[in-house]
Structure 1
Amino acid sequence: MADKEATVYIIDLGKSMGKANNGRSESDLDWSMRYVWDRISTTVAASRKTWTVGVIGLRTDLTDNNEDAAGLDGYENISVLQQIGPLSMTSLKELRPRIAPSNTNNGDAISAIVVAVGMIDSFTKKLKYNRRIVLVTDGKGPMDDDSLEDVSQKLNESNIELTVIGVDFDDPEYGFKEEEKSKLKAKNEKILARLVSQCKDGIYGTMAQAVEELSMPRIKQVRPFKSYDGPLTLGDPEKYPSAMSISVERYFKTKLAHPPSATTVIIKSEHGAGPSQVDEEADEMEGVERSGPSFAGVKQVRTYKVEDPDAPGGKRDVEFESLAKGYEYGRTVVPISESDWNITKLETKKSFTILGFIPFSSYEPFLNMGEAGIIIAQKFNERAELALSSFVNALYELESYAIARYVAKDGQNPLLVLLIPSPKLESETECLYDIPLPFAEDVRSYQFPPLDKVITANGPVTSNHRLLPDENLQKAMSDYVDAMDLSGFAVDDEGKPSEYAPLDESYNPIIHRINQAIRQRAVHPERPIEPAAGILLRYSKPPEDLVAQAKTQIEALIKHSDVKKVPPKAKGKRKRETIKPISGLDVDALLGQKKKIKITMENAVPEFKQMLASAEQISTIENATKQMGGIVLNLIRASSGSSNYDRAAENIRVMREELISLEEPELYNKFLRDLKDKLFKGDLGGDRRDLWRQKIVGLGLNLITQQESEASEVTEADAKKFEK
């Protein structure tokens, strides 16, 4: 099939397309453009010069097409908005404002199709192209069906696929029918349906189905990539005539898919980055089209330094070419220069050699190391096909796998692969599948205690223990697993049970979510990114209906496993246990001491701790923190130079430790933000910024982060940014 494509979109811009119908909040044009923008942006993202697009406006205020320019009648109110050609972000940006409802309802859709056919024939000539015309309309404009047969014949002669998608068109297969339809629209729907039926390649549908299917990710069609072409050997054919050698080809069966990669750029405003801020060599990004705000690529430069007492600053720059790789050997470093590096490389040659065979039972699936390949006989080589078929069937009948050493190219590192036979009895293609196997260094052997027995400290083994499940718990868990079975939860078109999560419908949410965001931002840069499609989140949690059906099994499992809800942590309570007298008496009450309600500057630290120790409410902790914070500010304000800095820092340190213990980090963080604001504004007796650098940052009295207290909302990055 041709790899070149020429697609023309005919978009109805009539006055009626500017209205919202059937309970929708957006106009028919905006609703329809969801589908068109998605298709166009996908073509732009592919960035292939052979995928060309043209756009025609139907029922426009102006007329701009070759047929009307040639003096032909019936082509009024049809405008070519985008000539056929590769579409870029710049042309997409220019096209967006031209897609708007007009002030007329005149314009013939059949004539617009004729204009599109002329554009495609003129552009593609007799070359091999996939030709498509996509018509999007609400069917409320006048249509002339006198030349319908001639138009369909021309479409068939030019091998053009016609797709008609109508706004609120009746579609019995999809299950949609518009009530109280006008006679004109009903007539136009019949005309367009008849035209599509007369085409060899024609699709007729309603816009509701097209918009609904936008959430379904489109899998990128990948061409077969040949990773090996050569002999598959058993023995050495050069030495022994009896050795096996089969000419085979290897292709990828599974390969890791990656989300699109991003390039680091800098936005350049009119008065922003100049030559001193942006590297001129990186200003133009090769192969990247610039659209919207001017941007430039960022050039990364790495420098290498070594300690040199004689150099300015104690360090000296060195050239990259003078560096050597050093490897730790005990407590010393062994350098290996670039010229000696070849001694570490294996001198391998391209080969695919079978080392031996193992039975099916000797292989564990968890040993699979990565991407699988498929091995078939060399094309148009009957001898190789017969030999590989014999080998595959022999392995299958003997229930054996083959172990092979695989080197894709000369000089590449070798791989050990497992060859799995796939005869024609089990698949359409008679082939071998290969899976990479681990080397000894790749295997991690961990020892875990058994789940079905407990080995006591004295040595005896017991199967009846509080840490082992009893019969009731095992039965409850077994029933729960059976109740949550997904293999037959879904229902197919015939109403029969089917698999809920088939492999061909399990899409990578990261890849498709990023692609969705890129398309939306490219078409509508000013709008927020829409939520992720439901199909991408489908398998992020179990089906609600299935959970409801398994409610009885879940309750039984909770009962027999004695699952209890963990109460939330009580804020304002110390993690460490308060030491109480053995007698249980309140020593403070016996001594007649009252609970502190005010903290003095002369004895701030012990009084602050005493007040927190007797706190029973959050308000008491807040009051103590507020008083302590006021004392710190007064100390800084009254300080002569740095005379009071140590006392202030000690008070801050105590406040920080106590509030971490009480799980009230936000009280401290709020105080510290207020302190920094006052310090840098000069509200505490002049320039006190040296206190921030020397005491707060120097002594590690920054914001309390999530790593220090679970109740904090401050991350490590936020804290580092704050202390600058």
Structure 2
Amino acid sequence: MIANYCKKLKYKRKIILVTNACGDMDDDDVPSIVDKLTSDGIELVVIGVDFDDAEYGYKEEDKDPRKQKLQKLVDQANGLIGTMQQAIEELGTPRLKSTRPVPSYKGQLTLGNARTSEAAMCIDVERYPRVMVRRPAAASNMFIPSDKGKASAQSSSAVQNGSHTSQEADSKPSDAPPSSRMYQVEDAKAEDGKRRISPEDLARGYEYGRTAVHISESDLNVTKLETQAGMEIMGFVPQANYHRYMNMSVSWVTIAQKTNNLAAIALSSLIHALYELESFAIARLVTKADKEPVVVLLAPSIEADYECLLDVQVPFAEDLRPYKFPPLDKVITVSGKKITEHRNLPSDSLNEAMGDLVDDMDLSHTGRDEEDNPTEFMQLTDTFSPVLHRIDQAVRWRAVHSKEPIPPPYEILTRYSKPPDEIIERSKGTLAALIEEADVKQVPPKAQSRKRARNQVKPLSGLDVGSLLGKKSKKAKLSPDNAIPEFRQTLDSAESLSVIHDAAKQMGAIIETQIKESFGDLRYQSALEKLGVLRNEMVEVEEPLAFNQIMTSLKTRLLVGDLNGDRREMWRLIQGAKLSLIPKSLSSASDVDDEQAKTFLAMR
């Protein structure tokens, strides 16, 4: 059946035989069976039920002759044989999916201008990914058919102009969740103030300040660089001058063109020259015509069985983030004096204690191999992506068991989620010494959120200083220049709800004034910060209604242009910061649910 169906096509041919070896077996046809399996490229896997297994301490009588016949068949066919217990445990070991190598670049690696100089070097090369992130399977929009007898799920189909654009199987068109996209612009003459427009009427553009700059389709080529595919070496740098933080991409491997011996010899000479001189090459790479050029660093790699160039993308000037942080080994005073002994700097004894802990937690000899010899604990070949294989496990389980709960992750996926017990036990003493040397103390629990009735700090004498001095409390007026600290101080000393509400109104007025008087978007970030503080404080004092009223009024004034012109850019910043109404999930005193808070952020 396999030979008739698969023919000579590229199928994975495998026969899995599950047997208890209790029936009669005739091994006269074993040679012909082996020849057929070998000629058709069929893999044979025999899983024995109740087979002898010394590892699990099980021995079954009266099966040795039959098992020997199966073992003979498997050996001659280059197959596999094992017990059912082994097969079940193997299910917990992820299977790595082999990927077909796809070159990202096929062309020439050049040094010098081949058009103008005869001394230029041109090598035919191919570039493949060396390390590439494997993403887990992504969930797509699905729906269960209305017929409860069906267990399969159907993909949703898009609706355009009232008709379904994708084919559907075993389901009615009305069962599919419809989806459509609609574009609207403001139009005072329309009934609802908005007019629908066709997607064909839209044009691409760029933001220049607060102006939308339209570039027609005929001019789009101006924004693109006209480039030709190629990898051109621009120069060389010593390995010591390159810093690891400049790696911007996954690593790629460049090899000589296959079946091109001259290219292999030329590339090998370049690789050995870089290796002997301890240098890297800097190259300009364009993988395809009219594609954006990138700068890559080429590093030599020489192994026992192959040679290649490894490359990673390096940044342009605009890609660097030159942040400056204070040094960790010294303190620089205002006068420029450098202090190496300070309470904020680690002492020699602290460094020694930390070094001892690092040595005790060394993983390079913590693991055990098959012969119980010390080896590396986390070997790359045994370290699998927990997220990727957990999703795969859950999907496969749910496909077969639609109602049963999903089992816990496989042990191999959680094996490296914590240090091994041997390391934990070994490092207890050094960890205790480090804690003592560093004077580590337990951080007190975070203070409870401030509620409506705040407990005032009382002096040790128990006297009311305010009453003794005869000062009468009065409502504080917030200063726009120091609004946030004064607002928080007012809430801390508030004795009634009226004081809280008045402070919130003042804060709202300051925010609106900043937006109204802002030149362009100059003061938008300051107003956004105050709005966030106002929202957080109203959540803590459980007064969501005060904030929601201020927020509703602010949105209305922003969208109708009541704050000195078009200020919708401020509303976009509010949307980006997700400063919506306070819902019930944040404060039980609110009358807004989560869906209403989400809808409130829409531009309408």
- Normalised to the residue count of structure 2, the TM-score between the two structures is 0.72
Query: Contact 2:34/2:73 (CA < 8 Å) preserved in 1?
Result: no
* Preserved CA contact (<8 Å) 1:247 1:378: yes
**Partner residue in 2 for 1:549:** 426
The match for 1:196 among 61, 65, 74 is 74
Counterpart CA distance in 1 for 2:396 and 2:433 is 48
Q: Does 1:167 align with 2:52?
A: no
Of 446-455 and 130-139, deviating more is 130-139
Give the drift of 1:289: 7.3
Q: Tell whether 2:316 aligns with 1:439.
A: yes
Report the counterpart of residue 24 of structure 2 in structure 1.
144
Deviation of 1:517 (Å): 1.1
Matched residue type, 1:703: K
Which residue of the partner structure matches residue 462 of structure 2? 584
Number of the residue aligned with 2:187: 308
- Give the Cα separation in 2 of the matches to 1:295 and 1:405: 54
- 1:658: Cα distance to partner? 9.7
Shift in CA distance, 129/719, structure 1 to aligned 2, threshold 3 Å: closer
1:517-596 aligned within 5 A: 517-569=394-446, 578-580=456-458, 583-585=461-463
Distance 2:278 2:227 in 1: 31
1:450-461 equivalences under 5 Å are: 450-461=327-338
- Alignment of structure 1 residues 419-430 onto 2, 5 Å: 419-423=298-302, 426-430=303-307
Question: Is residue 182–residue 196 contact of structure 2 (8 Å, CA) maintained in 1?
Answer: yes
Q: Whose Rg is larger?
A: 1
Question: Residue deviations 1:304-326, cap 9 Å, x none?
Answer: 21111112211112222222333
Offset of residue 701 of structure 1:
6.5
Counterpart amino acid of residue 381 in structure 1: N
C-alpha distance 402-261 of structure 1, shift in aligned 2 (>3 A): same
Whichever residue aligns with residue 429 of structure 1, its letter is Y
Secondary structure class of the residue paired with 2:423: helix
Distance change (3 Å), C-alpha of 1:466 and 1:318: same
1:403 alignment counterpart: 282
Q: Which residue in 1 is equivalent to 2:584?
A: 703
CA distance in 2, matches of 1:278, 1:122: 40
1:504 to 2:504 alignment? no
Query: Does 2:245 match 1:363?
Result: no
1:213 CA displacement: 1.8
Match of 1:120 in 2: 2
Code of the residue aligned with 1:475 in structure 2: it is E
Deviation at 1:284, TM superposition (A): 7.9
- The residue type equivalent to 2:223 in the other structure is T
**In structure 2, how many angstroms separate the alpha carbons of the residues matched to 1:320 and 1:659?**
42
1:369: how far off? 1.0
Distance 2:229 2:93 in 1: 42
Is the alpha carbon distance of 1:324 and 1:377 closer, same or farther for their aligned partners in structure 2, counting shifts above 3 Å? Answer: same
- The corresponding residue for 1:354 is 233
Counterparts of 1:318-337 in structure 2, within 5 Å, are: 318-337=197-216
Q: Which residue number in structure 2 is paired with residue 470 of structure 1?
A: 347
Residue 446 of structure 1 deviates from its aligned partner by 0.8
Counterpart amino acid of residue 53 in structure 2: D
Instruction: Say whether the 8 Å CA contact 1:268–1:295 is kept in structure 2.
Output: no
Which residue number in structure 1 is paired with residue 266 of structure 2?
387
Deviation at 1:186, TM superposition (A): 5.2
> Distance between the aligned counterparts of 1:308 and 1:130, measured in 2?
62
1:57-136 residue pairs with structure 2 within 5 A? 119-124=1-6, 130-136=12-18
1:524-563 Cα shifts (integer Å, max 9, x gaps): 1222211111212222222232111100011111111111
Residue 210 of structure 1 aligns with an amino acid whose one-letter code is A
The CA deviation at 1:570 is 6.2
Question: What corresponds to 2:107 in structure 1?
Answer: 230
Is residue 267–residue 294 contact of structure 1 (8 Å, CA) maintained in 2? Answer: no
Secondary structure (helix, strand or coil) at the match of 2:18 reads: strand
> Shift of the alpha carbon at 1:438?
1.1
Equivalent position amino acid for 2:17 in 1 = L
CA 471–576 in structure 1, closer or farther in 2 if over 3 Å, else same: farther
Indicate if the aligned counterparts of 1:234 and 1:353 stay in contact, CA closer than 8 A: yes
2:159/2:179 contact within 8 Å kept: no
Cα 1:481–1:657 change in 2 (3 A) is closer
Which residue identity lines up with residue 305 of structure 1 in the other structure?
Q
Q: For 2:117 and 2:539, locate their aligned partners in 1 and report how far apart those are by CA, in whole Å.
A: 81
Where 1:342 maps in the other structure, the secondary structure is: helix
Q: Equivalences for 1:265-304 in 2 at 5 Å? A: 265-270=142-147, 279=159, 298=177, 300-304=179-183
Question: For 2:104 and 2:158, how far apart are their aligned partners in 1?
Answer: 41
What SS does the aligned partner of 1:310 have?
coil
Give, as a single letter, the amino acid of the residue that structure 2 aligns with 1:369: M
Give the Cα separation in 2 of the matches to 1:326 and 1:195: 70
Q: Deviations over 1:360-393 (max 9, x none)?
A: 1111112111122111111222211111111111
Partner of 1:317 in structure 2? 196
Q: What RMSD over aligned residues (CA atoms) do the two structures have, in Å? A: 3.9
The match for 1:176 is 56
Alignment match of 1:209 (pick from 68, 71, 86): 86
User: Matches of 1:144 and 1:545 in 2, distance apart?
Assistant: 51
**Equivalent residue of 1:517, what SS?**
helix
Q: Is contact 2:330–2:345 with CA below 8 Å preserved after alignment? A: yes
Matches of 1:406 and 1:659 in 2, distance apart? 53
The whole-number CA distance in structure 2 between the counterparts of 1:358 and 1:470 is 38
Which string of whole-angstrom CA distances, capped at 9 and with x for unpartnered residues, describes residues 297-348 of structure 1? 6554222211111122111122222223333333433222232221100001
Q: 1:485 to 1:318 in 2, by over 3 A?
A: same
Asked if structure 1 preserves the Cα contact closer than 8 Å seen for 2:136 and 2:388, the reply is: yes
Tell me the CA shift for residue 135 of structure 1: 1.1
Is 1:480 matched with 2:360?
A: no
Alpha-carbon distance, 1:128 to partner = 7.0
SS across alignment from 2:217 = coil
Deviations along 1:235-266, whole A, 9 cap, x unmatched?
A: 12122111111111111111221111222123
Cα drift, residue 278 of structure 1 = 8.3
1:39-94 C-alpha deviation (Å, 9 max, x unpaired): xxxxxxxxxxxxxxxxxxxxxxxxxxxxxxxxxxxxxxxxxxxxxxxxxxxxxxxx
The residue identity in structure 2 corresponding to 1:254 is V
Paired letter, 1:176: Y
Q: Structure 1 counterpart of 2:345, which letter?
A: L
Given the two structures, how large is their TM-score scaled by the length of structure 1?
Answer: 0.61
Which structure 2 residue ranges, 5 or more long, are not aligned?
A: 149-156, 469-493, 498-535, 545-579
Letter in 2 for 1:178: Y
Deviation at 1:722, TM superposition (A): 12
1:284–1:296 contact (8 Å) kept in structure 2: no
Distance 1:516 1:294 in 2: 32
Q: For residues 359 and 263 of structure 1, do their structure 2 counterparts lie closer, same or farther at Cα, with a shift above 3 Å needed?
A: same
Deviation at 1:165, TM superposition (A): 0.9
What residue identity is the alignment partner of 2:182? Answer: T
Percent identity between the two aligned chains: 45
Deviation at 1:429, TM superposition (A): 1.2
In structure 2, relative to structure 1, the CA distance for the partners of 1:394 and 1:126 (3 Å cut) is closer
Determine the structure 2 residue equivalent to 1:245: 122
Aligned position for 1:259: 136
**Contact residue 136 and residue 391 of structure 2 kept, 8 A:** yes
Question: 3-state SS of the aligned residue for 2:124?
Answer: strand
* Greater displacement, 537-546 / 513-522: 537-546
Q: Which amino acid aligns with 2:286?
A: V
Deviation at 1:153, TM superposition (A): 2.9
CA distance in 2, matches of 1:226, 1:278: 35
1:109: which partner in 2? none
Indicate conservation of the 8 Å contact 1:285/1:296, yes or no.
Answer: no
